[in-house]
Chain A
Amino acid sequence: MRPDPHHARYPFFTAAREAVQAAAIDPPQLVAEDHPAVERGSERVERALLSGTVASETPDRWRARDELLSYPVARVLVSLVDSPAAVEKYAAAEAATAVERFREDFERGGDGLRSVSTPRVDLDDVLREFGLDAAVDRETADRAGDERVRVDVDAYLRLSNPDWGDRWRLVNRELAAGRVRLERGDLYRLLEAAVRRCVVEGLPFDVRASASGEALADALEDEVATLRDLLSERDAPPARDVDTVAPAQFPPCVRALVERAREGDLPAHSAFSLTAFLTAIGMDADGVAAFCDLDPETVEYRVAVLEDGDDVQYPPPSCETMDAYGDCVNRDERCETVSNPLAYYAAALDDAEAVEEYDT
């Protein structure tokens, strides 16, 4: 089997699952062969529980095939851990990672950076995958280059959650002719919910229902025990709850961005990354402008785009995205343990003996 590279990135897509099925390779066989997909599947769940992502820490170690086959293995492991929290965290991590990749794929399509060797999906592929192709209409971009979409109100209600913030309440949306008008970033949030739902579907299942399943469960006992331990240890608050501004604990990439901003040398995408990070830790537009020596109006606009209400729309970028923009610099030891700058910052705050807060 030579997997389609899309499948490795999006193993929950119907076509990917069918490819695995058609190849008649099942988890018991993989475990029996001690296939690398088993180790990668275990990492997948571990990363989901610890870091909220399923992306590998060592992507170069794995072939596309290992990636693809690690997904069914991960589902077996999550089922065996058999805890609602594990299913929840795992599905949320699959969804977060998928949306990050969607974003990269979509954006690469637009700015000419697309390389021939990089497989990518476009928005229509993704919408089709979730049966949303008829439910979403794209408006042409406005003069500022912002593109909006209109989503069928029933699809919107099914995928969104009023608890995401006032902005997400239907009453506060532009609803006309049965469609809700959204910014593109909000559509990504709905897609994340769609992925989450697709991953959750059928989890946990009864692995031990058959004799071969029984044997599989026994063979994976050690991995499952490790994951259970992680789950019980790891009830730390999520990184996005951090609301202390302590520049000394900023990750090196953010420190570099702040410096460049103060020197007046920051391209727009990097400025967005920096603004997203600083707003996520509780700074407002004025605070960001003062701290970074940036033009208050421009920052206000960026924050409006990022935040638009009381709910952070764009999560701060991951290490992967920072790297893609060339903003991942001066890596240190702690960087090896995290997948996004915010997680770095949260861990640094935890470990710091004394935290000096910046007065916003």
Chain B
Amino acid sequence: MDRRTREYLRGRFGDYYRSADLPLPPAAEAREWGHIPWTAGEGTTMVRHQSLLSLGDLGTFLAEESPRHVYFSAARYDDPGETRMDRKGWRGADLVFDLDADHLPGVDPETTAYPAMLAACKDALLRLLDLLEDDFDFETSVVFSGGRGYHVHVRDESVRDLDSEARREIVDYVRAIDLDAEGLITTRSVDGTTRRVLRTEGGWGRRVHRRLLEFVADLREMDESDARTRLQELDGIGAGRSETILGVVRENPDAVEAGNVEAGGPGLRTLVDALVRETIEEETAPIDEPVTTDTHRLIRLPGSLHGGSGLAVRRLDAGEVADFDPLVDAVPERFTRREIRIEVTDPGPVSLDGDSFTLDADEYTVPECVGVFLMARGRARKVKE
């Protein structure tokens, strides 16, 4: 990044911070703060181990320093400004989840356009929230990272003192890592006989069971031959098994409802096995493990700007998640008021603030937010107006 571009972005980030009123996270004075300044060259230097006390007023600090990236710790400390971790006096940490388009299965960040990556990430976010809210009963706070993903913060007091190992158990649950698929079915003794049943009262067993009930409800809606075709699309189900499964579905709905996988012979068990695979594929959330298990992690400050996109790190209200479009809703209003002149160095499509352009390697006058976005991503440089 050349000097003119850097100075421009630094100046405009400062303008943004001067007019922004950033809310502090809870217990801000017990958090460690860090930032990356605008520096020349490739390397980035994080200035960390700062306390709010050493920064002074956060708003003033941000306006004067105008950092490229701003972070605060998920952890609370007795002495957040202490440089040695073991002397900080760890008092607990929020539980934090990170979804990043770079880590989504089936999404290649090299070939996938930015809007498509963000959309895939949003799907993963909705799955994560479903797990955290329905299974864990956590109160969540969702933040768009300003880059390629989302962060979810859980600040329930009950989770703060969980150690790294306990957090890993939560990660593994969310990703269904080491899930014992056989173990989702258990032996239950009913009136002297034993039965193999799905564990329907919670966990992944309950999720598989829900899917089974939906699947079966769909089958009942279909006519005979469609239902048979639908069943035979699944692994391990041929003409014979589809017949027995349909028989159970029609004649013994209570057994399906109760999670009894032996009703009508081995057919239903095969269906359940297929649905286990589907449930894992479609309901797990590919969170980035180290972010959750590291109890000293620094996280982007909501309300700050992401130096690699010029987008705002935005906290989303519960009702806002479904309709949130980062490429519109995270564009700082401050950067939508005028046009600027840039030279595109890395041509290609760009979608922002409701507009889409395809830019060649040339000089353009563009809305400021588009210019900031391209410059922050290293795809353009500032030229004289």
Contact = CB atoms under 8 A, between A and B. Distances in A.
Interface string B136-170: 11100000000000000000101101100110111
A230 B87 CA distance: 38
Given A166-B180, A301-B194, A157 B188 contact: no
B55 to A, nearest CB: 32
A294 interface: no
B13 to A, nearest CB: 39
B202 A170 contact: no
B194 A300 contact: yes
A153 B183 contact: no
> What is the interface of chain B mostly: helix, strand, loop, or mixed?
mixed
Nearest to B138: A178
B205 A174 contact: yes
Contacts, number: 95
Contact of B169 (A167, A170, A181): A170
B203 A158 contact: no
B187 interface: yes
A301 B187 contact: yes
B97 interface: no
A144 B190 contact: yes
A165 to B, nearest CB: 10
A172 B187 contact: no
Contacts of A309: 180, 183
Interface in A148-205: 152-154, 157-158, 162, 166-167, 169-181
A152 B187 CA distance: 25
B212 to A, nearest CB: 16
B113 to A, nearest CB: 34
A271 to B, nearest CB: 14
B169 A178 contact: no
A194 to B, nearest CB: 15
B165 A143 contact: no
B202 A176 contact: yes
B173 A177 contact: no
Interface in B170-211: 170, 172-173, 176-180, 183, 186-191, 194, 199, 201-206
Contacts of A169: 169, 172, 178, 180
Contacts of A174: 199, 201-203, 205-206
B15 interface: no
A304 B194 CA distance: 11
A166 B159 CA distance: 23
B187 A181 contact: no
A175 B199 contact: no
A311 B206 CA distance: 23
Contacts of B190: 143-144
A307 to B, nearest CB: 11
Contacts of B205: 174
B166 A176 contact: no
B183 A162 contact: no
A259 interface: no
Contacts of B186: 304, 308
A157 B158 CA distance: 11
Nearest to B162: A157
B83 to A, nearest CB: 30
B135 interface: yes
A175 B202 contact: yes
Contacts of B137: 153, 177-179
A304 B177 contact: no
Contacts of B136: 153, 175, 178
Contact of A181 (B158, B161, B166, B201): B201
Interface in A301-360: 301, 304, 308-309
Contact of A176 (B169, B178, B201): B201
A146 to B, nearest CB: 8
A297 interface: yes
From A169, A170, A171, A180, residue with most partner B Cβ within 10 Å = A171
Contacts of A171: 169, 172-173, 176-180, 203-204
A4 to B, nearest CB: 32
Given A157-B162, A171-B169, A172-B179, A301 B202 contact: no
Contacts of A297: 194
Interface string B237-264: 0000000000000000000000000000
A128 to B, nearest CB: 18
A167 B136 CA distance: 18
Contacts of A304: 186-187, 194
Contacts of B178: 166, 169, 171-172
Nearest to A146: B189
A176 B191 contact: no
A158 B164 CA distance: 11
Given A154-B162, A176-B135, A181 B194 contact: no
Contacts of B189: 144, 301
Interface string B292-320: 00000000000000000000000000000
B166 to A, nearest CB: 4
A169 B134 CA distance: 19
A150 B203 CA distance: 13
Nearest to B135: A175
B127 to A, nearest CB: 15
Nearest to A308: B186
A169 B176 CA distance: 11
Contacts of B159: 154
14 contacts: A144-B188, A154-B159, A162-B169, A169-B169, A169-B172, A169-B178, A171-B204, A172-B203, A172-B204, A174-B206, A176-B206, A301-B189, A304-B186, A309-B180
Interface of B: 134-138, 156, 158-159, 161-162, 165-166, 168-170, 172-173, 176-180, 183, 186-191, 194, 199, 201-206
Those 6 A-B pairs whose CB atoms lie nearest each other, nearest first: A178-B137, A176-B202, A174-B202, A157-B166, A170-B169, A154-B158
Given A167-B183, A169-B172, A171-B204, 6 more contacts: A143-B191, A154-B159, A169-B169, A171-B169, A171-B179, A179-B137
